Chain A
Amino acid sequence: MNKPIRIALTKGRLEKDTVGLFEKLGFDCTAVHEKGRKLILPIPDGNMEVVLAKANDVITYVEHGVCDMGVVGKDTIMEMKGKFFELVDLGFGRCKFALATKKGYDFYSGYGVKTIATKYPNVSRHFFEKKGMDTEIIKIEGSVELAPLLELADGIVDIVETGTTLKENGLEVIEDVAPISARLIANTVSLKFRKAEIDRLITLIEENL
């Protein structure tokens, strides 16, 4: 089979980290560095092709099998779900989902239904469902930290890296929801049809993590 293996990368930081990893494995990533406006870029010596996409789209392309593999954050996987293999924890892009409130606010007190603002409604719903807790979830597109400050929400579920933004706005993490890092995913059929090539790549990656 001569068709290159097509890998979708999440644009931005994960893309840079993945390209760094590929270079460590000895692949020539010149085309990716000099991409201009191109969205499909060859890595000729690895018989691979890199596709740059937004996180959610990485999952969509891999699910449909138009990309064989993908690199995407666990945050997107948890929010989107979907049918694919989640093969390797790449270790980079580490952060966490956390529940945060205004400093000193007693979130779990009382019997009132709490309101949660988040960019990740599925992750939030699942988290509180497991606790058997009814919550009202409001989807926010921009800075979620605003919602408790404007008193729209009692708390937020969001990605936390250093916690600086929270601190500067008088918020604090009261509970971790889940750890996050970049994952290597694969289409369920591609893994079967191209087992030897994908196995080789994974072994190489695991040796270099």
Chain B
Amino acid sequence: MKNYDLITPEGTKDYLFEECIVIRNVENTLVELFRSCGYSEMLTTGLEFYDVFNLNSRYFPQENLYKLTDSKGRLLVMRPDTTMPIARVVATRLRDAMLPLRLFYNQTVYRTEPALKGRSDEIVQTGIELIGSQLKMAELEVISTAVTALKSFGMEFSLEIGNIGIFKELVGRLEVTDKVKERIRRLIETKNFPALNDLLDSLGSNSVTYALKKLPALFGGEEVFEKAEEIMPDEKIKKLLDELREIYNDTDELCGSDGVITVDLGLVNKTDYYTGLIIKGYLQGHGEEVLSGGRYDKLISEFGYDVPAVGFAVNVNAVAKLIEKNGIIPAMPRVDAVVYAEEGFEVAAIKAAQSLREQGLVVENALFSDIATVRHYAIEKKIPKVVVINSEVTE
């Protein structure tokens, strides 16, 4: 039998020293930011019943979940996402809480990614959920917090917004099966213009198919709205577009000087439980979004409590990796002194080390039996001070 006792599973890795400092710095910056906006932390369970992620709308394909069973044989999963567990808690224990609820989380999620593709199955997500408000103000709060978060990483960034409601309204006006709708969605998502045109042409030529064909090309800055305005077939959809435009203009006014704010009407991801606003944050140098979120007004009602919500999450590992790649590596905390006890003075040495630590120094106990080795160790580890404790205290 082969033992796998020296390696970690595909898609996972151990983080050491500087890597941990970078990850914790990113987490702490975000946590402080969220706290300063009045958000409170939630820790949800690492193991959940599969049913939590297998609602009517099936947001998570079962092949992407880590599954196991409990002692009664019921199907469990390793949490693949935190938004749905939070929706579960809001619909149960927080049902009677005063709204709005401002919640944040900082925890690991698990998904099976294709093997040998350089992707992680285990990532830390830090994010917020603002629950109980349908107001534009709630969306602006979440967007501006997202921009502040991106800005705090100290790299060139861009924040993109969209509204999946526009796609859902448009496709809802076509008399086609859900399968065809899904094919249209997939082609818009991948900006596959040739195949999208072929498919829509086969469904007839009208203002709806025309608008759907143009949707994936409608990304960029303010000019997108001018172009989109002309092709939206009716007032209901135009209203969604106007709302998005207002949010875009407000966001640009708020944050336009910090980074690039863009819009993409072709943001129509599948695993999204989003119903309206979509947010994505990009950092120069990382091939995928590092921040994503949006409005999900129907999700919590699937758990039996009808309340609107909006939020986002940051992929902490992706940000940390990019910070390391850019060489912004923080210094390891240095050790200021090592305390060596001569035989019989161990208690005194530990006390001395404690009192030095109270003065704010980083102090190690020497674990060698002779002073020469201690001095050699201090030189190797660049520890500036060796304290020797014997009958007469010396330094």
Residues of A with Cβ closer than 8 Å to B?
60, 63-66, 83-89, 186-193, 195
Of B191, B220, B262, B282, most buried by chain A (CB within 10 Å of CB) is: B191
Question: Chain B contacts of A84 at CB under 8 A?
Answer: 190
CB closest chain-A residue, reference B221? A195
Also in contact, A195 and B193, with CB within 8 A (given A65-B288, A188-B288, A189-B287) = no
Also in contact, A66 and B287, with CB within 8 A (given A189-B282, A192-B160, A192-B262) = yes
Would you list which residues of chain B between 235 and 285 have a CB under 8 Å from chain A? 262, 264, 282, 284-285
B154 to chain A, nearest CB (A): 17
B73 within 8 A of A: no
Is the beta-carbon distance between A192 and B158 smaller than 8 angstroms?
Answer: yes
Is the beta-carbon distance between A192 and B118 smaller than 8 angstroms?
Answer: no
B38 within 8 A of A: no
Is the beta-carbon distance between A195 and B219 smaller than 8 angstroms?
Answer: yes
Is the beta-carbon distance between A193 and B158 smaller than 8 angstroms?
Answer: yes
Of A88, A89, A188, A189, most buried by chain B (CB within 10 Å of CB) is: A189
CB closest chain-A residue, reference B269? A83
Complex Cα–Cα for A71 and B264 (A): 24
Contact of A189 among B117, B193, B289 (CB under 8 A): B289
Complex Cα–Cα for A86 and B219 (A): 15
- Please list 27 pairs of residues, one from A and one from B, whose beta carbons are closer than 8 Å in the complex, sorted by A's number: A60-B118, A63-B117, A63-B287, A64-B118, A64-B287, A65-B288, A83-B288, A84-B190, A85-B190, A85-B192, A86-B190, A87-B192, A89-B194, A89-B195, A186-B191, A188-B288, A189-B282, A189-B286, A189-B287, A189-B288, A189-B289, A192-B160, A192-B219, A192-B262, A192-B264, A193-B158, A193-B282
Question: Chain A contacts of B287 at CB under 8 A?
Answer: 63-66, 187-190
Complex Cα–Cα for A64 and B288 (A): 7
Ranked nearest first, the 10 interchain pairs of A and B with the lowest CB-CB distance are A65-B287, A89-B194, A85-B191, A86-B192, A64-B287, A189-B282, A86-B190, A187-B287, A189-B287, A85-B190
Question: Chain B contacts of A65 at CB under 8 A?
Answer: 285-288
Is the beta-carbon distance between B193 and A87 smaller than 8 angstroms?
Answer: yes
Would you list which residues of chain B between 285 and 327 have a CB under 8 Å from chain A? 285-289
Also in contact, A88 and B194, with CB within 8 A (given A189-B282, A192-B160) = yes
Contact of A88 among B193, B262, B264, B288 (CB under 8 A): B193
B286 to chain A, nearest CB (A): 7
Question: Chain A contacts of B286 at CB under 8 A?
Answer: 65, 189
Question: Chain B contacts of A87 at CB under 8 A?
Answer: 191-193
Question: Chain A contacts of B118 at CB under 8 A?
Answer: 60, 64
CB closest chain-B residue, reference A59? B117
Question: Chain A contacts of B219 at CB under 8 A?
Answer: 192, 195
CB closest chain-B residue, reference A60? B117
Question: Chain A contacts of B262 at CB under 8 A?
Answer: 192
Of B117, B160, B264, most buried by chain A (CB within 10 Å of CB) is: B117
Question: Chain A contacts of B194 at CB under 8 A?
Answer: 88-89
Complex Cα–Cα for A195 and B264 (A): 12
B227 to chain A, nearest CB (A): 13
Question: Chain B contacts of A187 at CB under 8 A?
Answer: 287
A-B contact sample (5 more), CB < 8 A, given A87-B193, A89-B195, A195-B220: A65-B285, A65-B286, A188-B287, A193-B158, A193-B282
CB closest chain-B residue, reference A91? B194
Complex Cα–Cα for A65 and B287 (A): 4
CB closest chain-B residue, reference A67? B287
Complex Cα–Cα for A191 and B220 (A): 10
Also in contact, A86 and B288, with CB within 8 A (given A192-B262, A192-B264, A193-B158) = no
- Hey, what's the 0/1 contact readout for B148-160 against A, CB within 8 Å counting as 1? 0000000000101
Question: Chain A contacts of B220 at CB under 8 A?
Answer: 195
Question: Chain A contacts of B192 at CB under 8 A?
Answer: 85-87
Question: Chain A contacts of B190 at CB under 8 A?
Answer: 84-86
- Hey, what's the 0/1 contact readout for B189-214 against A, CB within 8 Å counting as 1? 01111110000000000000000000
Complex Cα–Cα for A60 and B287 (A): 11
- Hey, what's the 0/1 contact readout for B111-125 against A, CB within 8 Å counting as 1? 000000110000000
CB closest chain-B residue, reference A87? B191
Is the beta-carbon distance between A192 and B282 smaller than 8 angstroms?
Answer: yes
Would you list which residues of chain B between 159 and 215 have a CB under 8 Å from chain A? 160, 190-195
CB closest chain-B residue, reference A74? B195
B381 to chain A, nearest CB (A): 37
